[in-house]
């Protein structure tokens, strides 16, 4: 697969992650607003809204982590890397990405069996399978693995691209 096709795939996946995160945030806002209204104005709290909100929050965090990984804007101490020459910076980012790829691959792989083991468990308020909750983590770590693998193979974004993306956020 050519680098331009990989770049196009990365952009599409990144935009889908951003869209999903935005939709999860909006759903969270609506559900928590419904919870506040039902609890304080109607004096009849809806138990399921709190539980579904927790599910959505987990998905939001994991998809958000994948998105931040896709645009290479995760938190970092740059006091040293800001002073590295471009070639050394490239090597450093690839080494870090290898470590992240290995760790996220292990978590995602182990998560498969865990998600399968939680299929029969239902959440107490909404009755949804707990596997739905844990599947968000599996998806998030799988996406982080893919984004890290891209950096390992094709190298990090240039520092100029990173700065440009940072100013746009």
Give the chain as a DSSP string: --HHHHHHHHHHHHHHHHHHHHHHHHHHHHHHHHHHIIIIISS---HHHHHHHHHHHHHHHHHHHHHHHHTT-S----TTGGGS-HHHHHHHHHHHHHHHHHHHHHHHHHHHHHHHHTTT-B-TTT--BHHHHHHHHHHHHHHHHHHHHHHHHH-PPPHHHHHHHHHH-
Domain with 109 in it? 3-168
At 79-96, the pLDDT tens digits run: 877 888 989 999 999 999
Q: Is 120 exposed, middle or buried (0-12, 13-18, 19+ CB in 10 A)?
A: exposed
Token pair listed for 75: 């938190």
Q: Structural domain tally of the chain?
A: 1
At 115-162, the pLDDT tens digits run: 999 999 999 888 899 999 999 999 999 999 999 999 998 888 766 554
Token look-up 């980012």 returns 93
Longest dimension (CA), the chain: 62
* 112 in Cβ contact with 138 (< 8 Å): yes
pLDDT at 168 over 50: no
At 1-55, the pLDDT tens digits run: 677 787 788 889 999 999 999 999 999 999 999 999 998 888 888 888 889 999 9
């Amino acid at each position: 697969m050519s680098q331009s096709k990989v770049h196009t795939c990365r952009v599409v996946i990144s935009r889908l992650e951003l869209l999903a995160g935005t939709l999860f945030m909006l759903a969270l806002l609506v559900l928590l607003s419904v919870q506040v209204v039902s609890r304080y104005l109607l004096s009849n709290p809806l138990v399921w809204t709190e539980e579904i909100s927790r599910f959505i929050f987990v998905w939001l965090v994991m998809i958000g982590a994948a998105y931040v990984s896709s645009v290479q804007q995760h938190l970092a101490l740059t006091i040293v890397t800001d002073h590295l020459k471009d070639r050394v910076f490239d090597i450093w980012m690839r080494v870090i990405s290898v470590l992240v790829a290995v760790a996220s691959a292990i978590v995602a792989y182990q998560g498969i069996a865990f998600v399968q083991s939680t299929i029969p468990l239902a959440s107490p308020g909404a009755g949804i399978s707990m596997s739905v909750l844990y599947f968000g983590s599996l998806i998030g770590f799988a996406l982080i693995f893919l984004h890290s693998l891209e950096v390992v193979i094709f190298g990090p974004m240039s520092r100029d691209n990173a700065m440009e993306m940072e100013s746009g956020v």
